[in-house]
Structure 1
Amino acid sequence: MIDSMKRWRTPETDGDAVKALAGSLGLSPIAAKVLAARGFTDPAEASAFINMDLGSWHDPFLMKDMDTAVELINSHIRRGSRIAVYGDYDCDGVTSTTVMMKALLSRGADAFYAIPNRFKHGYGPNTELFTELYEKGASLIVTVDNGISGIEQIAAAKALGMDVIITDHHEPGEELPQADAIIHPRHPEGNYPFGDLAGVGVALKVAHALTGDFPADSIDLGAIGTVADLVPLKGENRLIVKKGLEKLRHSADPAVKALCKAANVEQPAIDEETIGFGFGPRINALGRLGDAGPAVRMFLTEDPAEASMHASSLDERNRERQKMVAAIADEAIAWVEDTYGDRIPHVLTVAGEGWNPGVVGIVASKLTERFYRPSLVLSIDREKGIAKGSARSIEGFHLYQELAKNADLIPHFGGHPMAAGLTLPIDNVGALRDNLIRQGEETLTEEDLVPVLDIDVTLSLDEVDLASIESLRELAPFGVGFVKPVYGISELSVESSRKIGSMRNHLKLTVTDGRNQLDVVGFGLGHIEDELTPDAKVSIAGDLQINEWNGRKKPQLLLKDLKSSGWQLFDVRGERVLSRWLPSIPADALFVAFKKENAAKFRADTGKEILLCSQVEPARGSSLVILDLPDSMEELEGLLGSCSPARVYTHFHVPESRYFMGIPDRKQFGWYYTFLKQKGQFHVMREGERLAKHRGWSRDTIIFMTKVFFELGFVTMENGFAVAVGDPPKRDLSESGSYRGLERQIEIEQALLYSPYMELRRVIGAVLDAPDTAREEQQLWI
């Protein structure tokens, strides 16, 4: 048995809906299954989703205050007033700033921008920075991707005599700032049809309203900001990303080309993953480590050399960010493991002095991914006496609500169910840690602490081909709210398996259903290879891809998880060097020997507890290591029946194998008995070696036949001499206990020690594959 690393959840699929979607839309069965699993059962609705066009783009003036904002901006442009665009330091904020700047400049505005520094100004409106904008001559401030919570700061800007327009998408509070206009898709007094726009989506709406045209020239920026901000890819967001990706693939913009070079991406191959893993992290890196302004300059410039310079700077900062995250994550993980060992608490709170507060959110995500616990990572600032950080959660633990229960300890916090930011006095960290552990124990069950893998579609291997996988791109883009599908395929045989990579920490499989094959790659899953056996039937889950190498294309599954429900046989017969196989044995395995002397030997060699067969108590689902050979098959059957192990490791050590010696035939017995009668007396120990060489036998054969004759009364033994009895009784060789014992030992060695793997599996499976009732009856009989 191979346990899955996660809890697999597979929805029921409406077969009729799949057929209807495939037939009406000309989709592959796989693509139709994905849509049906995502709730698209009506072909017309599915078609509108797949083939989204500008008909899904709402009139920007449906947003409350849009008319007021446009009129105010135009009035400042007519007067020649300076307009300041006030952005944010993340990717959404950078792209929002750029979109707004391009729209204002296209209208002839005297516009400039400012982005707060995460460490100097913090997030959102800042009174000091607003004052600087006033001193630079700004008469109007237009915020992008922030402002909805800046009640005091907006009031201060108004007191200086500036007009303020807020464009934001973050959650509005009970009180709104007294700005001249608030453009927000979820404005409490508004009724806009789509409330999930990113900050850059709101900026695109303002750009449309200002220019009177769909903002096609900035839609690529909209795609970057929307994907990077992890908003749901539905409605207008999906349209923005779909149209934006098309523009990015063909754009002549110097910034796009420079980003592609920095991220080592072929421009025609840009997709949502390029943004999520290539462009977004590089843009975000600037704001995480310092000033995000150069990213805006990169997007605004028309000079390829300047764009390239800024893109290289982004790439360098991103490398710094990666090293910083890795170092802090290593410290945090080490602290958790050193502090808690195997007893990881339900909620983790880790704090470190000098950790960059701009990257602790990424570290919190890494802790949650590794330990599957809600995780808080705090940066300690001794000089200010505060701890500032970020948190990430898991299903079942509403982070914002649980933090709210500690409002007396956390003066400043905000967020939602799965992520949050917080600042608190250093002295309160310990109490918060204890409280959250207790709250986690009250809220989270043991099942909640096992990560979940949602499998969208179950397939058979004959459904997987290049055309079907290529057809899945029709469903793109994928992202939050419409994630990349996970596919499950069951009851496959492993045709080949090996570890790959310089560290041998990745897995490469070829699986088959007997007719079709599929390559499987599992990054970081090399350890699974140690758990696979030649007979294993596996179920796999992952992402279907097309692997292209040397001009050849093949389907491939990028493995997320694997499991096997049946018991497994691990063959370690003949492995005399213990260090070669002991490390692969699970820590909770039962080590069992049938003979006391072998138990003592292995106990001395390994330092492990070795049980005798008679000491084993029933323990279903355990791992069983059988160290030596039983005296009978009944002994083995009794052991297997009582344990019902999930894994069986067969070592079957025997100090001296008798299988290849075989049993002397009757001619050999006859010749030896005649020899003894003619000899009169024969000293077995002194003269047996010479006789054995003469006959081409082994010395053990001479000793064995002598022992059989003695047990049957054919010879007597006196002082080491074998003397033939004159008139021996008529008895069959099989009446000798030694003869029967050797027969039995050879049979057992043949069945267990020297049999092929599949034959040994059949022997053990005769017990383990039997129904429970039959097994119980067998144990009673034994």
Structure 2
Amino acid sequence: MSAQQWILATIEQPPEWFIQAVKQHTPASNGLYAAQLLWQRGIKEKSQLSTFINYKAYQAASPFEFGQEMHLAIARLQKASDNRDKIAIWGDFDADGITSTAVLWDGLGEFFIPDIELSYYIPNRLKESHGLNHQGIDNLAKQGCKLIVTCDTGSTNIDEIIYAKQLGIDVIVTDHHTLPEERPPVTAIINPRYLPKEHQLFHLSGVAVAYKLVEALYQTLPHVPQHPLEDLLDLVAVGLIADLVQLSGDCRYLAQLGIQRLQADFQQPPTARRRPGVGRLLELCQKNGDRPTDISFGLGPRINAVSRIQGDASFCVELLTSRNAKRCNELAEVTELANTRRKSLQKDVQAQVAQKLAQLDLSTTSVIVLEDAQWPAGVLGLVAGQVAQETGRPTILLSTEGVEDKGDKEINKTPHSSLLTQHGLNAPLPLTALSTQNSALLLARGSARSVNSVDLYKLVKDQAHLLHRFGGHPFAAGLSLPIENIPLFTAAINQQLQQSLGGTTLTPTVQADLVVTVADLGKELFLELKLLEPCGMGNPVPKLLIQNCWFENGWHRNQQDWQGKKVQYIKTEFNIRDNSTRSGFPGIWWGHYKDELPIGRCDCIAELDYNTFKKRYEIRLIAVRPSENSALTTDNSPLILDLRNQEYTTLTDRDSALILEHCPTNWDDLRVWLRRCLTTTVDNQQQLAIAWSKPNHQPGKEIWRTLVGIAKYLSRTNQPVTRVQLLEKLGISDRTLFLGIKALKSCGFTVTREDRYLQITWNSSSVSVSNADAPIAQFLAAVSEEQFQQKYFAEVPLSTIVAMINSHFD
């Protein structure tokens, strides 16, 4: 694994007038931190500041900024209303696509009769690709559909649009993904990519584009709708934030309004909520809807999990739009269970990927390409994203179970063809160097994620001659290719990136925005940083650098689902301390064990958050490393006092140090004591005095004979014994004693536990020498290894102890 590079953003001191302007919005603090962040992120004028913080000062763009295309779309919808045409909404299976479909279902449902004139279709992630397909169009034609309105998809489905037109079906595309070279033959295409990059609508996600279409219809036919347009804004916020688009311009404005609607609805009694399904989902993920993170860490992953696990996510539209609380509760719980299953699958695949990754030489690898026949398609993009962040290299994960494909027209009928992953990957291009007309292909399908500003889409596109289909954008891609092409594709894409880098080394990086102390953490700083919300691409959650700190009271556990069952997903909780305060501050570290927390002084990068469920402010740990000022970085360590093989009773202050008299047998034993040093006192770290002497060991066979003799005596006298008594008598560790008891059992002894005591009896008639050989040999080997380790720890230099402990957590 590459060493992680930490970067501290250039901190510019804003002018005093700007700091005072920000302070008006942070009455509980001086506003300096928020002012520094806003200034370094390009907010440098009073008018910018006003519209950024206060949505009421922002002037949203008209939906007719889309020009002639919007007018064409509205005209066709008016014609459909006059003719009572049947309309089908064609959505997508990720959170942006699901919320887009829900917005059109509710919005167009004000003008067309749901389930009679209006229907919707969501492709199956595990059986179909993103975008339109022939089979689905055939089914809609049979139902008498005259108009398809896409959302979050469709811009490049040229062949499918022509096919629909041949069947007498018009198509209105609402989308935000990559545009084709020429305008598709549609009735209208509403896509912000046609606008200039600086336009306030340019970064709209699929759900926001769908909302703009409904807004235009509301403005055109204002007397028809029975419900206010603003009722759709909570869905818009969910899709916008879950899709990770840049939250600037109208994106930020709509997200701000939507979060308010989301929170207001959740505060209603469950029976009075407009969206009981959303409310129940928030309850299940222990959120209340007032934070963007409630969507990015709560609602978004749960909606996405359904298609990842089940393939068919159609019921999620009902979950988001139905007013039937009982039905919504049932659907929300199915969604929650899908997310639980997604976590377990993701962790399993992550562990398997880590094993394969360990076999790679990252010094000669620019693009990581890994394959496996057993990997489930739905979680490959998530794991690829994690690997890319950890290694600093674009990552492609492929499932090679050998799906057959007999040509482009059948692509949507084959399992796992939907690996064109969730963020902008609805533009599969039928590019292949192999003929698919006369023979079936065995295809590998997978997901790719990028990092370090590497344009992943271009990398993949340049190898199109080796691929079957692909689609994506610079940060993410989905692809399929003949299994036999994988080695050539891997070599070619690595060579291509290496040449473009020109010798530059790819390194995983994490950037901090501000330097703070533990004393700074809490409500005041949280409210100050909250000015920047909602955060997203272009305006990330502020990362805080805390230096020369340490951790206390660390513990970890598996997560539990809403039914109380354990999920194979670890979270560590802790308190963080530094010299700025006597009190610790709580924090969490997702996906890590408590033993991964460094010992001694360290530096960390974290995000400040508010835990609604526990009603407390806490940090979310992002990265951690030993501090340059750590007490464990020199031989003359103030934390460790070396008193081995000498008299230590002359210590002037025995209370100032923890004394370890027993020689350890492994590094973990030593780390446990070091952790005790860090958590013993409030004001200072307590020293650890390592005070063991060079052990005088008995031969292993003598220890075995002693153990057998004790067992026979206890059997004959019917006396109990404690584990501690055996350990002291034999001079061995718990693990070795366990192997000794196992060996006793193979020799005919029965060992039972009653409270703290062991009861040993012997049945000589059950002894089998052949059965006892292997367990006795295991015990003797453990004794030998333990004695070797103790001899090592008796003589190892203190500098080695310090270096080994630090390297374990580096």
TM-score w.r.t. structure 1 length? 0.68
Matches of 1:97 and 1:505, distance apart in 2: 34
The question of whether the paired residues in 2 share the 8 Å contact of 1:91 and 1:283 is answered with yes
1:326 aligned residue (330, 340, 347) = 347
1:29 aligned residue (32, 42, 62) = 32
Change (3 A) 1:277 1:585: same
Q: Does residue 310 of the first structure (1) align with residue 331 of the second (2)?
A: yes
User: Which residue of structure 1 aligns with residue 109 of structure 2?
Assistant: 105
Letter in 2 for 1:560: A
The question of whether the paired residues in 1 share the 8 Å contact of 2:259 and 2:289 is answered with no
The question of whether the paired residues in 2 share the 8 Å contact of 1:466 and 1:555 is answered with no
User: Which residue of structure 2 aligns with residue 234 of structure 1?
Assistant: 248
Question: Where in structure 2 are the equivalents of 1:365-384 lying within 5 Å?
Answer: 365-384=385-404
Question: Where in structure 2 are the equivalents of 1:29-48 lying within 5 Å?
Answer: 29-48=32-51
Matches of 1:655 and 1:390, distance apart in 2: 56
Q: Does residue 499 of the first structure (1) align with residue 567 of the second (2)?
A: no
Letter in 2 for 1:144: C
User: Which residue of structure 2 aligns with residue 561 of structure 1?
Assistant: 624
1:149 aligned residue (146, 150, 156) = 156
**SS of corresponding position for 2:192:** coil
Q: Describe the superposition over 1:9-47 as per-residue Cα deviations: whole angstroms up to 9, x where unpaired.
A: 221222425534434545632222222232222233112
User: Which residue of structure 1 aligns with residue 650 of structure 2?
Assistant: none
1:470 aligned residue (497, 509, 527) = 527
Change (3 A) 1:8 1:563: farther
Question: Where in structure 2 are the equivalents of 1:578-593 lying within 5 Å?
Answer: 579-580=664-665, 582=667
Matches of 1:331 and 1:177, distance apart in 2: 43
Matches of 1:358 and 1:501, distance apart in 2: 28
Q: Does residue 429 of the first structure (1) align with residue 449 of the second (2)?
A: no
Matches of 2:109 and 2:57, distance apart in 1: 25
**SS of corresponding position for 1:501:** strand
Q: Does residue 178 of the first structure (1) align with residue 178 of the second (2)?
A: no
The question of whether the paired residues in 2 share the 8 Å contact of 1:507 and 1:529 is answered with no
User: Which residue of structure 2 aligns with residue 351 of structure 1?
Assistant: 371
The question of whether the paired residues in 1 share the 8 Å contact of 2:587 and 2:620 is answered with yes
**SS of corresponding position for 1:358:** helix
Letter in 2 for 1:169: H
Q: Describe the superposition over 1:91-131 as per-residue Cα deviations: whole angstroms up to 9, x where unpaired.
A: 11111111112222201352111112223331101122112
User: Which residue of structure 1 aligns with residue 174 of structure 2?
Assistant: 167
Structure 1 residue 541, shift from structure 2 partner: 2.5
User: Which residue of structure 2 aligns with residue 125 of structure 1?
Assistant: 132
User: Which residue of structure 2 aligns with residue 335 of structure 1?
Assistant: 356
Letter in 1 for 2:193: R
Letter in 1 for 2:99: T
User: Which residue of structure 1 aligns with residue 450 of structure 2?
Assistant: 393
Q: Does residue 519 of the first structure (1) align with residue 585 of the second (2)?
A: yes
Change (3 A) 1:515 1:161: closer
User: Which residue of structure 2 aligns with residue 411 of structure 1?
Assistant: 468
User: Which residue of structure 2 aligns with residue 88 of structure 1?
Assistant: 92
Question: Where in structure 2 are the equivalents of 1:216-255 lying within 5 Å?
Answer: 216-251=230-265, 252-253=272-273, 255=275
Structure 1 residue 267, shift from structure 2 partner: 6.1
Matches of 1:83 and 1:30, distance apart in 2: 51
Structure 1 residue 454, shift from structure 2 partner: 1.5
Matches of 1:279 and 1:555, distance apart in 2: 21
User: Which residue of structure 1 aligns with residue 300 of structure 2?
Assistant: 280
**SS of corresponding position for 1:223:** helix
Structure 1 residue 202, shift from structure 2 partner: 0.5
Change (3 A) 1:41 1:163: same
Matches of 2:668 and 2:101, distance apart in 1: 56
User: Which residue of structure 2 aligns with residue 699 of structure 1?
Assistant: none
Q: Describe the superposition over 1:523-577 as per-residue Cα deviations: whole angstroms up to 9, x where unpaired.
A: 2374465541xxx4x44431224579998x6675746334412433262544675
Change (3 A) 1:60 1:72: same
Matches of 1:308 and 1:531, distance apart in 2: 45
Structure 1 residue 59, shift from structure 2 partner: 0.7
Matches of 2:395 and 2:173, distance apart in 1: 33
**SS of corresponding position for 1:458:** strand
Matches of 1:518 and 1:448, distance apart in 2: 39
The question of whether the paired residues in 2 share the 8 Å contact of 1:520 and 1:559 is answered with no
- Structural RMSD (CA): 3.5
1:290 aligned residue (297, 305, 311) = 311
Matches of 1:243 and 1:429, distance apart in 2: 47
2:144 aligned residue (122, 134, 137) = 137
Matches of 1:421 and 1:220, distance apart in 2: 29
Change (3 A) 1:313 1:344: farther
Letter in 1 for 2:12: T
Matches of 1:364 and 1:556, distance apart in 2: 26
TM-score w.r.t. structure 2 length? 0.66
Letter in 2 for 1:541: I
Matches of 1:653 and 1:411, distance apart in 2: 66
**SS of corresponding position for 1:382:** strand
**SS of corresponding position for 2:11:** coil
The question of whether the paired residues in 1 share the 8 Å contact of 2:518 and 2:577 is answered with no
The question of whether the paired residues in 2 share the 8 Å contact of 1:250 and 1:268 is answered with no
Letter in 1 for 2:351: D
Change (3 A) 1:393 1:293: same
Matches of 1:139 and 1:557, distance apart in 2: 51
Structure 1 residue 584, shift from structure 2 partner: 8.7
User: Which residue of structure 2 aligns with residue 49 of structure 1?
Assistant: 52
Letter in 2 for 1:14: Q
Matches of 1:145 and 1:69, distance apart in 2: 16
Matches of 1:548 and 1:261, distance apart in 2: 15
User: Which residue of structure 2 aligns with residue 16 of structure 1?
Assistant: 15
**SS of corresponding position for 2:624:** strand
Change (3 A) 1:351 1:543: same
When Rg is computed on C-alpha atoms for both structures, the one with the higher figure is: 1
What percent of counterpart residues are identical? Answer: 26
Structure 1 residue 332, shift from structure 2 partner: 2.1
Matches of 1:446 and 1:250, distance apart in 2: 54
Letter in 2 for 1:10: A
Matches of 1:358 and 1:96, distance apart in 2: 21
Matches of 1:208 and 1:564, distance apart in 2: 54
The question of whether the paired residues in 2 share the 8 Å contact of 1:397 and 1:443 is answered with no
Matches of 1:554 and 1:188, distance apart in 2: 41
**Segment drifting more, 390-399 vs 255-264:** 255-264
Q: Does residue 208 of the first structure (1) align with residue 222 of the second (2)?
A: no
Change (3 A) 1:177 1:561: same
